[in-house]
Chain A
Amino acid sequence: MYTEKVMDHFTNPRNVGELENPDGVGEVGNAKCGDIMRIYLDIEGDIIKDVKFKTFGCGAAVATSSMVTEMVKGKTIEEAMEISNAAVAEALGGLPPAKMHCSNLAADALHEAIKNYHDKQHKKE
């Protein structure tokens, strides 16, 4: 049902955890649906220096969260905004069709975190 890459990210997820004083935090999903993803960002200039995640959900939810953190580390904010849910799924070698809608939200969580960073910047100004 899942690709080897999905199972690898599920078994050994990258960048699990939280950041102490994150520059941006984004959360999507809800417990009712069975998926919650939260992403923490450290941003210097416009570069994503560090990223962590916490996820409640199925194998696909954990794997996409882990994958997106790997894809985004060291990238600019602009590049990060370009990453789509479909690109995350593709980087994992694909997801079962049923998972494409419900559990493939990691890029959304990332974009929420960036939005949160921008909001904080505006408040500082």
Chain B
Amino acid sequence: MRRVYLDHSATTPVDPEVAAIMMTYYTEKYGNPSSVHGFGREAKQALEQARNQVAELIGAASGEITFTSGGTEADNLAILGTAEALRKKGKHIITSCIEHHAVLETCEYLEKNGFDLTVIPVDEEGIISVDALRKAIRPDTILITIMHANNEVGSIQPISEIGKLAKEQGIVFHVDAVQSLGKIPVNVEELNVDLLTVSGHKIYGPKGVGALYVRKGLRIVPLVHGGGQEKKRRSGTENTPGIIGFGKACELAGQRMADDAEHQRKLRDKLINGILERIDFVKVNGPLGEKRLPNNVNVSIRYVEGESLLLSLDMLGIAASSGSACTSGSLDPSHVLLGMGLIHEIAHGSLRFSLGRQNTEEDIDYVLEQLPKIVERLRMMSPLYDQAIHSKQA
């Protein structure tokens, strides 16, 4: 059976070049970077090279990179670490309603523990209004945390403008760039950010490794205490194979970004247009064109439910994801789609395809051949579709 992986926003395969270099640091150069001897020194040297590679991709200095166990930990460190460092200065935090759970849940945790939280809305394309954000700022606002690009609908946020505003007001600005890294340029100077989260496994690197960029001079309080690694920001023996793999993945991402983006943008538009041509009652979620990540396709297919679509696609070897309640693990569908104003019924029928480096035109043709048949089969079963057809005829 043909297998088509279209869930790269969930995770990516590790690039063989990345995997090869990692293996060396498991079996041969396994020293602890904190050790004085030669084994330790060669690991330390490779660790610092990886730090340079990550820094270079985001336009930072290597001393501004702290490695973590992934994007979630980096988000937690940025938000909790800033709140703790500035709790005497103020207690107000601003975020948006479409953030990843790693940010939202962390902010809500702070809210339960004495901080004030403002969650600003987005427009129907899933884009934050800078004006709404400006109005939410208070004299005691200490932190703004907004994602660079949304993981579900691919909407790219006006980060540079928000950063400028935060800078003017003297507010610390954190950005989760897990989804944008390697897909569109991410430069900490151009974006005016103080803290930036990145992750390895979304850019053909390994799982279990990420990093937080911390602007030079900014103080954050660590979450993990111990041996004082990572300039005391994150104790614990470094995951050297993972970090070195992440560094390599960043180097490759920098080299390939322009080609990857062009290739995926073409496939993205072919898939979106193909679905719209072949299936009726379909809505594209998120913006079209330049404000959308090159690799994101998100559509709501009315009168069918997302998990049924995923199961049917999976049986044909196609991997995608959905914002339906059944796949979100709660009774409500995706908070991102609801935040954009979609009604529950339409959010339940959402389908996300996230493209990757290895996808081909043939992959897209295969989806466009199979998906209409799946939708037709499920709609034949759906009592909602009958009603829609009848009211259309009436």
Q: Is the CB of A56 within 8 A of B326?
A: no
Write the nearest CB–CB distance from B325 to chain A, whole angstroms. Answer: 5
Write the nearest CB–CB distance from A32 to chain B, whole angstroms. Answer: 4
Query: Could you tell me the distance between the alpha carbons of A54 and B385 in the complex, rounded to whole angstroms?
Result: 10
- Contact surface of B with A, Cβ cutoff 8 Å: 303-308, 311, 315, 324-326, 329, 331, 333, 343-345, 348, 380-386
Query: Could you tell me the distance between the alpha carbons of A54 and B307 in the complex, rounded to whole angstroms?
Result: 17
CB-CB under 8 A from A98, the residues of chain B are 329
Tier of interface size on chain A = 20 to 34
Write the nearest CB–CB distance from B317 to chain A, whole angstroms. Answer: 15
Query: Could you tell me the distance between the alpha carbons of A63 and B329 in the complex, rounded to whole angstroms?
Result: 19
Interface secondary structure of A, over-half rule: mixed
Query: Could you tell me the distance between the alpha carbons of A61 and B306 in the complex, rounded to whole angstroms?
Result: 12
State whether A102 and B308 are in contact (beta carbons under 8 Å apart), knowing that A34-B344, A34-B348 are contacts in the complex. no
Q: Is the CB of A62 within 8 A of B384?
A: no
Q: Is the CB of B381 within 8 A of A54?
A: yes
**Per-position binary interface string of chain A over residues 83-115, scored 1 when its CB falls under 8 Å from any chain B CB and 0 otherwise:** 000000000000000110011000000000000
State whether A16 and B345 are in contact (beta carbons under 8 Å apart), knowing that A10-B311, A33-B325, A34-B325 are contacts in the complex. no
Q: Is the CB of B308 within 8 A of A57?
A: yes
Interface secondary structure of B, over-half rule: helix
Query: Could you tell me the distance between the alpha carbons of A67 and B126 in the complex, rounded to whole angstroms?
Result: 40
A-B contact list, 30 entries, CB within 8 Å: A7-B311, A10-B308, A13-B381, A16-B381, A27-B383, A31-B344, A31-B345, A32-B343, A34-B324, A35-B305, A36-B383, A38-B383, A54-B381, A54-B386, A55-B381, A56-B305, A56-B381, A56-B382, A56-B383, A56-B384, A58-B305, A58-B307, A58-B324, A59-B311, A61-B305, A61-B308, A62-B308, A98-B329, A99-B326, A102-B331
Tell whether A11 is near chain B: CB-to-CB under 8 Å.
yes
**Per-position binary interface string of chain A over residues 14-47, scored 1 when its CB falls under 8 Å from any chain B CB and 0 otherwise:** 0010000000000100011111101000000000
